[in-house]
Each structure stands twice: as structure tokens, then as C-alpha cells.
Amino acid sequence: MSLALGIGLLAAAGVYLVLQRGMIRIILGFVLLTHAVNLLLIAAGGVARRDAPFFGGDTSSAADPLPQAFVLTAIVIAFAITVVMATLAVVGRGDDDTEPPPSGDEAPSATSEAAS
């Protein structure tokens, strides 16, 4: 029950942050969503009803390595996408069209500088 609640809270917080305006918040939301998906994959693997992977006994109750491999792959992919998104946030910082263009009164013109 607590694992499902944790997955739900991480997913809800991740969706909330992805829908925000700032790029850093979008990146943090993406990270939270990837953590929620990783927990979901581990929970779907049935870790609670399995034993340790190497215990020297019957292999029918050993842990399934496939969900663990999926999560390891998902962690690597999520880290790479996070790095790309952070790079785009830094590079594209000055490319934001949310500010209004400067008015003609504030910027000095070339003719007023030549007259001085």
C-alpha cells in the first residue's frame, strides 16, 4: 500500500512540475516522473513475494532479474535525457520571448549619439 502511495505521490508531483512554466521545474518534474516509473517497474516485478537472487536453493522462488534490468536501463536513459534537457535550459536561457520588446525611448539611437 505504501509503495503504491509513493508512486502516486511522485507521479502527481512530477505532472504538476512538468506543467509549470520554468525549465528547471520541468526538468525536476521529469526526474520525479522517472522515479515513479522505476518504482512501478520494481513493484510490477513482484519483489515482495520473491527471495534473494542468489541463495543456493530452489531457483523457482528467486528474484526475477528482468524488472531490475528494465529499471537499470530506465535510470541510464532518464539520466541522459535529464542532461540533454539541462543543457537546453542553459543554452536557451536568452531565447525566451516572454519579455516585451524595448520601447524606443529607452534605447539610445545612433543619431542622438552623433549629435552629442
pLDDT in tens, 32-72: 999 999 999 988 877 666 666 666 666 666 667 788 899 99
| Length reported for the chain | 116
The whole-number average pLDDT for the span 14-27 is: 94
Phi and psi, residue 36, nearest 5°: -65, -40
Confidence of residue 92 (pLDDT cuts 50, 70, 90): confident
* Chain centre distance of CA 96: 21
